[in-house]
Chains A and B, each alone.
Chain A
Amino acid sequence: MAGKTLYDKLWDNHLVEQRDDGTSLIYIDRQLLHEVTSPQAFEGLRLANRKPWRLDANLATPDHNVPTTLKERKEGNAGIEDPVSKIQVVTLDENCDDFGITEFKINDIRQGIVHVVGPEQGATLPGMTLVCGDSHTATHGAFGALAHGIGTSEVEHVLATQCLIQRKMKNMLVKVNGTLAAGVTGKDIVLAVIGKIGTAGGTGYAIEFGGEAIQQLSMEGRMTICNMAIEAGARVGLVAVDQTTIDYVKGRPFAPTEAQWEQAVAAWSDLHSDADAQFDAVVELEASDIEPQVTWGNSPEMVVPVSAVVPNPADQSDENQQKAYTRALEYMGLNAGQAITDIKLDRVFIGSCTNSRIEDLREAAAIAKGKKVAANVKQALVVPGSGLVKQQAEKEGLDKIFIEAGFEWREPGCSMCLAMNADKLGAGEHCASTSNRNFEGRQGFGGRTHLVSPGMAAAAAVAGHFVDVRDVLQAN
């Protein structure tokens, strides 16, 4: 019998019941909650007179709607100027208080983007099943945890039963061989993968990322990659547990201690695919071929290396693809054949659950240090992923580097990634963004998003247009 993949192992370890119809009941160890996708779930519990199955499995924090300016934030919920946003944040507080769920409220130092907070607190542990009403829950797979986004009905289902009804996914291995060049990051790997397999390439699969280039990445880099598995269509991204994982988890508030720590580490040593495991699909990339990536269109698969030009729809063989490319060029205000480095920027956003961790901020600060944001860039935002990330960055003096260069240093939240709060693009504005989606209107009505790594975003802020961050690093 062939060995098991990491996904197979995680699945088997949480299988409560397999049914004849092909569905299974899967036990969920951790649920993260935020204000946008939970209110209707709590309301459902109340209407059915149900209680949460297990309180300690849940952890909540507001992130999508919270303002990121100090002016609004210093007054807590009362400072949220948008009345509709305020109701949502207050409703989360009320629901967590009523049901007895642990919540890091708006100005708790531990508040932040759920996908930054979970790992930071050790609430994300190897071998867990973890869900959240947010598609970027795939992030937590970087810890060898089975993690994926769910809808609000399923949030309610997990609250009430601690289980989900699931069908097993297929297994895909994305293997990145060799070593990345300096200035090329996890973000570039995952954008290159999406460019290769497309936004539906991973649909129905759990993608495990492996190979030397992945093993050499920090946990932050691995989280960035798993975070965007969903942009390749896969609900689940995974990386095998190794010493890097264990070192990251050790000593975090929710992590096991003493004898249990030893026991856990021993159990986690099995959290990798067996050497003879069978994958349903394998995709290989050479790390040395990967350049810094920039998206030019309105789907994350519309991506090219920074040295390339905007593609021509006429070069696409598929008719639907041609139409999509033409529409994207029109929306983005770009011309086929235009150099990526000729795209001028109006705003820059460094943040989001993809790239707002301390390493991301260090990477951007290293480029911004001693430089100034270009005159044509109206706004360059740096939004740390959590209060603790912000605190650490300030300890390292990164805030000063950004502020001196002309960036705005903000309070933690999802911010301009999806523009549910006041941080958004104006119509027609181009933005170099470290977030994960370049859909039409995602960052603001008529806004034009280009997805890049933190280093590329900082370099673009300084130059006023896209530049190859490797050239900037060399010049430094």
Chain B
Amino acid sequence: MEKFTQLDGLVAPMDRANVDTDMIIPKQFLKSIKRSGFGPNLFDELRYLDEGKPDQDCSQRPKNPDFVLNQPRYEGASVLLARQNFGCGSSREHAPWALLDYGFRCVIAPSFADIFYNNCFKNGILPIVLDEATVDSLFKEVAGEEGYRLTVDLEAKEIRTPGGRSIAFDVDDFRRHCLINGLDDIGLTLEKADAIKAFEAKHQAAQPWLFRG
């Protein structure tokens, strides 16, 4: 997993509540057995005017000019500003894979769906929860200033705006530690193998029917 310490990125606004995982990456693209290559199909049904198919050359498809990511001013964005309950719906990790493949490393919203939020951290994406009023103010600032960028400082747990405002955010210490160091969860958990084995032995003695041998 790529480390995340500080990001200075162009911000793209997604002004829509309850953006679901089918919207982020439609189901026909979940047939891949890889983790990469989902970027061209991120927000496929909003982004293109035709129906997307797997393994298609997306550069030839008709784009929806009204969709925010198709506007030249947001090209190269790495921070996605979003509304409440972002990432609701399925557990598909293809959603953060698609965001990452497109180039997003940070999503800011008033709230996230639990599974999506968790999946982001596993892939080097930082999801940041800010209160509704602050998110609103960021939407206004992005709309008002072409080339609007934010500095996201995970070590300091703060976002800095071009106007010099600094916005503190909260993030779980363990997840922050893993992101900053690009750590693999599995390796960390396997360091606890003895504790897991001890628990397992006790568990099996108490509830042998959970083990079929």
Decide: A135 and B31 in contact? CB cutoff 8 A.
no
A401 to B11, CA, bound (A): 57
A135 to B210, CA, bound (A): 23
Decide: A27 and B200 in contact? CB cutoff 8 A.
yes
Pick from A109-117, A342-350, A362-370, A440-448 the stretch touching chain B. Answer: A440-448
Partner of B196 from A127, A134, A154, A163 at Cβ < 8 Å: A163
A5 in contact (CB, < 8 A):
no
| A134 nearest in chain B by CB position | B91
Decide: B200 and A17 in contact? CB cutoff 8 A.
no
A474 in contact (CB, < 8 A):
no
A446 to B173, CA, bound (A): 42
A36 in contact (CB, < 8 A):
yes
| A86 nearest in chain B by CB position | B31
Pick from B63-71, B72-80, B114-122 the stretch touching chain A. Answer: B114-122
Decide: B89 and A439 in contact? CB cutoff 8 A.
yes
Decide: A128 and B189 in contact? CB cutoff 8 A.
no
Q: Chain A residues with Cβ under 8 A from B186's Cβ? A: 44, 48, 50, 156-157, 160-161
Decide: A233 and B31 in contact? CB cutoff 8 A.
no
Partner of B91 from A23, A37, A88, A157 at Cβ < 8 Å: A37
A50 to B177, CA, bound (A): 24
A155 to B11, CA, bound (A): 32
Q: For residues 258 through 302 of chain A, which have their beta carbon under 8 Å from a beta carbon of chain B?
A: 260-261, 263-264, 267, 299
Q: Chain B residues with Cβ under 8 A from A299's Cβ? A: 18, 20
| B114 nearest in chain A by CB position | A235
Q: For residues 183 through 205 of chain B, which have their beta carbon under 8 Å from a beta carbon of chain A?
A: 184-186, 189-190, 192-193, 195-196, 199-200, 203
Q: For residues 126 through 172 of chain A, which have their beta carbon under 8 Å from a beta carbon of chain B?
A: 127-128, 133-135, 137, 148-154, 156-157, 160-163, 165, 167
Count contacts on A: residues with CB < 8 A to the other chain: 82
Pick from A198-206, A240-248, A378-386 the stretch touching chain B. Answer: A198-206
Pick from B22-30, B98-106, B140-148, B157-165 the stretch touching chain A. Answer: B22-30
| A14 nearest in chain B by CB position | B203
Supposing A84-B54, A149-B115, A441-B26 touch, asked if A21 and B33 sit within 8 A by C-beta, the answer is no
Decide: A161 and B31 in contact? CB cutoff 8 A.
no
A320 to B86, CA, bound (A): 14
| B55 nearest in chain A by CB position | A84
Decide: B122 and A200 in contact? CB cutoff 8 A.
no
Q: Chain B residues with Cβ under 8 A from A157's Cβ? A: 185-186, 189
Supposing A84-B55, A199-B85, A445-B51 touch, asked if A125 and B210 sit within 8 A by C-beta, the answer is yes
A75 in contact (CB, < 8 A):
no
Q: Chain B residues with Cβ under 8 A from A30's Cβ? A: 210
Decide: A420 and B27 in contact? CB cutoff 8 A.
yes
Count contacts on B: residues with CB < 8 A to the other chain: 61
Q: Chain A residues with Cβ under 8 A from B206's Cβ? A: 267
Decide: B89 and A437 in contact? CB cutoff 8 A.
yes
Decide: A21 and B114 in contact? CB cutoff 8 A.
no
Decide: A37 and B93 in contact? CB cutoff 8 A.
yes
Q: For residues 419 through 460 of chain A, which have their beta carbon under 8 Å from a beta carbon of chain B?
A: 419-420, 437, 439-442, 445-446
Q: Mask for A1-37, Cβ within 8 A of B = 1, else 0?
A: 0000000000000101101011101010110000011
A190 in contact (CB, < 8 A):
no
A324 in contact (CB, < 8 A):
yes
Partner of A65 from B31, B51, B184 at Cβ < 8 Å: B31
A425 to chain B, nearest CB (A): 12
Decide: B200 and A162 in contact? CB cutoff 8 A.
yes
A18 to chain B, nearest CB (A): 11
Partner of A233 from B27, B30, B85 at Cβ < 8 Å: B85
Q: Chain B residues with Cβ under 8 A from A405's Cβ? A: none
Partner of A445 from B23, B45, B84, B113 at Cβ < 8 Å: B45
A331 to chain B, nearest CB (A): 10
Decide: B45 and A420 in contact? CB cutoff 8 A.
no
Decide: A154 and B88 in contact? CB cutoff 8 A.
no
- 27 A-B interface contacts by CB (under 8 A): A16-B196, A16-B199, A27-B203, A29-B210, A37-B93, A84-B32, A88-B31, A133-B91, A135-B90, A150-B118, A151-B122, A157-B185, A163-B189, A163-B196, A199-B85, A200-B18, A200-B88, A235-B114, A256-B209, A260-B209, A264-B207, A267-B207, A299-B18, A321-B17, A437-B20, A437-B89, A440-B45
Residues of B within 8 A of A (CB): 16-18, 20, 22-23, 26-28, 30-35, 45, 51, 54-55, 83-85, 88-93, 96, 111, 113-115, 118-119, 122-123, 172-174, 177, 184-186, 189-190, 192-193, 195-196, 199-200, 203, 206-213
Query: Which A-B residue pairs are the 9 nearest by beta carbons?
Result: A256-B209, A153-B122, A39-B33, A149-B91, A151-B119, A151-B93, A152-B93, A445-B51, A200-B85
